[in-house]
Amino acid sequence: GLFAKSMNAYSYMLIKNPDVNFEGITINGYVDLPGRIVQDQKNARAHAVTWDTKVKKQLLDTLNGIVEYDTTFDNYYETMIEAINTGDGETLKEGITDLRGEIQQNQKYAQQLIEELTKLRDSIGHDVRAFGSNK
């Protein structure tokens, strides 16, 4: 919750803040600074848009998949217990196979999410360093 809230605030700030404008301002000794700051702002905004349009949805989808698995497990539980008690190996095997398939799918989505979050973290870290170097 807190991470997503922080990312939403961060992306909102980057996307909604006006473009930096150095028109009519001369920065002696730092001719390329205005251009770098403008580019850094564009890069940071692109990363904020990536959060808003891709990674946030991926996070929510992954979390929903985990919650849905809990419901699926609850639905299978009684049937599997009954299969154990009655010696119905085929039903038990089918239930375990279905649950295992969902676990593997959720695991795949979680791994993809981790990769995207890692890339986004690295990009935002670069943004922070870029803005900091413009002091």
Residue 109's H or E segment, with its range, is: helix 89-133
Would you say residue 28 has pLDDT above 90?
A: no
Cα gap 109→43, rounded to integer Å: 27
> What contacts 68, CB < 8 A, 6 or more positions away?
none
Question: What percent of the chain is modeled with pLDDT above 90?
Answer: 86
**11-25 residue pLDDT tens:** 999 999 999 998 888
Q: How does 17-52 read in b/e, with b if 16+ C-beta sit within 10 Å?
A: eeeeeeeeeeeeeeeeebeebeebbebbbebbebbb
| Mean pLDDT within 46-53 | 97
Cα gap 98→56, rounded to integer Å: 28
R_g of the chain computed on alpha carbons: 24
**What pLDDT does 86 receive?**
96
- Phi, psi dihedral angles at 65 (to 5 degrees): -60, -40
Residue 69's H or E segment, with its range, is: helix 56-86
Would you say residue 70 has pLDDT above 90?
A: yes
**What pLDDT does 40 receive?**
95
- Compare 117 and 28 and report the one with higher pLDDT: 117
- With tokens 């349009």, the residue in question is 53
Would you say residue 1 has pLDDT above 90?
A: no
Candidate from 25-29, 79-83, 119-123, 127-131 with smallest mean pLDDT: 25-29
Would you say residue 134 has pLDDT above 90?
A: no
Task: State the residue range of the domain holding 73.
Answer: 2-133
- In the structure encoding, which two tokens stand for residue 75, read together? 């639905």
Provide the number of structural domains found in the chain: 1
- Domain CATH for 7: 1.20.1170.10
| Mean pLDDT within 52-62 | 96
Q: Is the dihedral of CA 49, 51, 55, 59 positive or negative?
A: negative
Would you say residue 63 has pLDDT above 90?
A: yes
